[in-house]
Amino acid sequence: MRFLALLLGVKAASILLLSSLTGTGAVNSSGRWWGIVNVASSANLLTNSKSVQLVLDPSLALLSRRQRRLIRQNPGILHAIVAGLHSAIKECKWQFRNRRWNCPTTHSPTVFGKIVNRGCRETAFVFAITSAGVTHAVARSCSEGAIESCTCDYRRRGPGGPDWHWGGCSDNVDFGKLFSREFVDSSERGRDLRYLINLHNNEAGRMTVSSEMQKECKCHGMSGSCTVRTCWMRLPSFRTVGDFLKDRFDGASRVVYANKGSNRASHHADPRHLEPENPAHKPPSVRDLVYFEKSPNFCSFNGRTGTQGTSGRTCNSSSPALDGCELLCCGRGYRTRTEKVTERCHCTFHWCCHVSCLNCTSTQILHQCL
Ligand X SMILES: *[C@@H]1O[C@H](CO)[C@@H](O)[C@H](O)[C@H]1NC(C)=O
DSSP state of 33: G
* Contact flag: residue 355 with ligand X (CB under 6 A): no
Residue 334 identity (one-letter amino acid) = Y
Q: How many CB atoms are located within 10 Å of the residue 49 CB?
A: 9
Nearer residue to ligand X within complex by CB, 32 or 206: 32
Per-residue mark of binding to ligand X, 14-53 (x: CB under 6 A):
-------------xx-------------------------
Calpha distance 167→153 (Å, rounded): 10
* Contact flag: residue 106 with ligand X (CB under 6 A): no
Among 47, 64, 117, 240, binds ligand X (CB under 6 A): 117
Per-residue mark of binding to ligand X, 170-209 (x: CB under 6 A):
----------------------------------------
Nearer residue to ligand X within complex by CB, 32 or 136: 32
Nearer residue to ligand X within complex by CB, 1 or 26: 26
Task: For the CB of residue 83, give the shortest distance to ligand X in the complex, in Å.
Answer: 26
* Contact flag: residue 316 with ligand X (CB under 6 A): yes
* Contact flag: residue 363 with ligand X (CB under 6 A): no
Calpha distance 229→139 (Å, rounded): 24
Query: Is the alpha carbon torsion for 93, 96, 102, 103 positive or negative?
Result: negative
Calpha distance 197→191 (Å, rounded): 10
* Contact flag: residue 319 with ligand X (CB under 6 A): yes
Among 358, 360, 362, 370, binds ligand X (CB under 6 A): 358
Q: In Å, how far are 67, 110, 190, 210, 349 from 61, measured between CA atoms?
A: 10, 13, 21, 31, 52
Task: For the CB of residue 110, give the shortest distance to ligand X in the complex, in Å.
Answer: 7
* Contact flag: residue 222 with ligand X (CB under 6 A): no
DSSP 35-88: GGGGGGGGGGG----SS--EEE-GGGGGS-HHHHHHHHHSTTHHHHHHHHHHHH
Among 359, 361, 363, 365, binds ligand X (CB under 6 A): 359
Among 318, 338, 348, 361, binds ligand X (CB under 6 A): 318
Which residues 6+ apart lie within 8 Å of 60 measured at CB? Answer: 17, 36, 39, 54, 68
The footprint of ligand X on residues 275-314 (CB under 6 A) is none
* Contact flag: residue 368 with ligand X (CB under 6 A): no
First to last CA, the chain: 36
Calpha distance 205→137 (Å, rounded): 13
Residue ranges that bind ligand X, judged by CB under 6 A: 27-28, 117, 316, 318-319, 358-359
